[in-house]
């Protein structure tokens, strides 16, 4: 497996534009997490899914943020409209189910670095 | 409320000196705790987990339920230990929460 795959790796956009970040989790993993990394706040959990169903989105900053997981192999995080304060690195991570040989280990993608001008 | 606190944003240690990265947690149940590391230009990856009671790259971490702490320690720092370290808590509901991270800088 190639691991968790995220795209794009870098995105520079202007304030007000729509941004879509993509993630492909590790095959067979039941959980998918979206995190945002900034110097000030560290790694913030935005939302997580279990079997494609959103379980907790309390970390999503505001209505401008939305996330979907239409199937087990794909998820998107969308920001519309984007603002300069959204500039950060966004990570996707996946995790196997507790019932599996689950060590509780999160597998991270390489991240999507977003800059909103 | 579930929370992970890493009080130090930056920790500078001389090569060969002992390292201790602090982590405190807030959780009413039995916690699962982890340390993750992010080396320069690499993905975040698991360093160690408390249930394994293992030593990885010379690092150990002991869960102290009385003090609600899970500090990461290494007796002799090496230059390759320079990285960003995150402490993480996994409650029963599977929401995995991270602290703000500590950047460890090993001085030559």
Q: Is the pLDDT of residue A100 over 70?
A: no
B95 Cβ under 8 Å from any chain A Cβ: yes
If you count residue pairs, one on A and one on B, with CB atoms under 8 Å apart, how many are there?
58
Task: Count CA atoms closer than 13 A to A99's CA, side-chain side.
Answer: 2
Chain B positions in Cβ-Cβ contact with residue A108 (cut-off 8 Å): 43-45
Instruction: Report whether B5 contacts B23 (CB < 8 A).
Output: yes
**CB A45 to CB B101 under 8 A?**
no
Bridge pairing between strands A112-116 and A10-13 = parallel
A13-55 pLDDT tens trace: 999 999 999 999 999 899 999 999 998 889 999 999 999 999 9
Residue A24: CB partners within 8 Å, gap ≥ 6?
Answer: A4, A5, A6, A73, A74, A75
Span B96-102, mean pLDDT? 94
pLDDT tens for B45-98 read 999 988 877 888 999 998 998 999 999 999 999 999 999 999 999 987 778 999
Give tens-digit pLDDT for B7-39. Answer: 999 999 999 999 999 999 999 888 889 999 999
Q: What's the pLDDT score for residue A99?
A: 63
The answer to whether A20 and A112 have CB atoms below 8 angstroms apart is no
Collapse the DSSP code of A58 into the 3-class scheme (helix H, G, I; strand E, B; otherwise coil) and give the result.
coil
Cβ atoms within 10 A of the Cβ of A12, count? 11
Q: Which site among B98, B99, B102, B103 would you substitute to test the A interface, given the most A Cβ atoms closer than 10 Å to its Cβ?
A: B98
Whole-number Å distance between alpha carbons of A24 and B6: 30
Which residue is closest to B44 within chain A, CA to CA?
A: A108
Q: Are A107 and A47 in contact (CB under 8 A)?
A: no
Inter-residue contact B85 to B98 (CB < 8 Å): no
**Is residue A90 a contact partner of residue A112, using CB atoms and an 8 Å limit?**
yes
Contact criterion met (CB < 8 Å) for B49 and A104: yes
Q: What is the pLDDT of residue A98?
A: 66
pLDDT category of residue B5 using cuts at 50, 70 and 90: very high
Cβ-defined contact of A108 to B44 (cutoff 8 Å)? yes
CA dihedral B71, B73, B78, B82 (to 10 degrees): 0
Report residue A79 as tokens: 């920001």
């Amino acid at each position: 497996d190639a691991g968790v795959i995220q795209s794009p790796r870098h995105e520079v956009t202007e304030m007000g534009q729509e941004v879509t970040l993509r993630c492909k989790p590790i095959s067979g993993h039941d959980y998918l997490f979206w995190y945002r990394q900034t110097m000030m706040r560290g790694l913030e959990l935005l939302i997580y899914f279990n079997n494609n169903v959103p379980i907790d989105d309390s970390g999503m900053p505001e209505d401008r943020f939305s996330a979907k997981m239409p199937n087990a192999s794909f998820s998107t995080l969308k920001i519309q409209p984007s603002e300069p304060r959204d500039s950060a690195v966004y990570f996707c991570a996946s995790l196997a189910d507790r019932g599996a040989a689950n060590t509780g280990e999160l597998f991270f993608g390489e991240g999507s670095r977003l800059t909103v001008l | 409320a579930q929370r992970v606190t890493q009080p130090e944003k930056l920790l500078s240690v001389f090569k060969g000196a002992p390292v201790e990265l602090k982590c405190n947690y807030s959780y009413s149940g039995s916690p699962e705790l982890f340390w993750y590391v992010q080396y320069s230009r690499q993905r975040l990856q698991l360093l160690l987990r408390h249930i394994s009671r293992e030593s990885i790259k010379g690092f150990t971490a002991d869960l102290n339920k009385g003090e609600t702490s899970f500090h990461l320690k290494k007796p002799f720092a090496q230059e390759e230990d320079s990285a960003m370290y995150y402490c993480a808590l996994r409650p029963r509901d599977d929401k995995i929460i991270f602290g703000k991270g500590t950047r460890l800088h090993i001085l030559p």
